[in-house]
Amino acid sequence: MPLFVALWPPGRVRDHLRRAVREARPTAPDLRWSPPQGWHLTLVFLGDPGDRTPRVAEALERALEGRPPLDLTLDGWGVFPRPDEPDAGRGASVVWAGVRGDGLTGLATDLADSARRAGVPVSSRPFVPHVTLARSRRPHDVTRTLRALGPAIPTGWRADRVDLVESRPSGPDRYRTVRSWGLPWGSESQRAPERGTS
């Protein structure tokens, strides 16, 4: 099964996105809108590491050692593919909410580098921090949809947990957390107490 490393926005951030999506959804009925419980920010997509999963999990843990929590903020709306011209809505196959925060790109880069050293061929595409809201198999003109989403109110949150997640295309639970790391990882409060034998 494919794995990815993710941050999950809390309920109040999802509520903000849910209100925006409720206004925009009627403008693009042909898009497949992601359910709010699945909204996440992918830091690194790992594909299917197979028997390398334990090794890559250890490598990710080392990359998270001593990392502080991240203060993140929603940062406008965007689309993929990203156009060069100002008319951003034409020919889009993905609509997303942007995310910004100090240290976010550095964290994603370090996690990707760690996965590569563990033998996982991670893509070298530039990291664009976002939460996917809708997608389509064929390009759409989503200009009206982007307008209907309304002004992007900067809603912030503190990300203090990183998850290694399994993506399952079928079944009731699309995403299953395989491993979780609290931030800062490696502090005394995060380590399990040692158990004596006497």
In which band, very low, low, confident or very high, does the pLDDT at 195 lie, cut at 50, 70 and 90? very low
pLDDT at residue 185 greater than cutoff 90: no
Q: What is residue 198's predicted lDDT score, i.e. its pLDDT? A: 30
pLDDT in tens, 59-78: 999 999 999 999 999 999 99
For residues 179 and 164, the answer to whether their CB atoms sit within 8 Å is: yes
For residues 115 and 48, the answer to whether their CB atoms sit within 8 Å is: no
**What's at 163, amino acid-wise?**
D
In which band, very low, low, confident or very high, does the pLDDT at 167 lie, cut at 50, 70 and 90? very high
HSE-CB of 87 using CA atoms within 13 angstroms: 4
For residues 39 and 152, the answer to whether their CB atoms sit within 8 Å is: no
CA distance linking residue 94 with residue 33, whole number of Å: 10
In which band, very low, low, confident or very high, does the pLDDT at 83 lie, cut at 50, 70 and 90? low
Handedness of CA 39, 45, 51, 53 (dihedral sign): negative
Q: What is the mean pLDDT of residues 40-63?
A: 96
pLDDT in tens, 117-131: 999 999 999 999 999
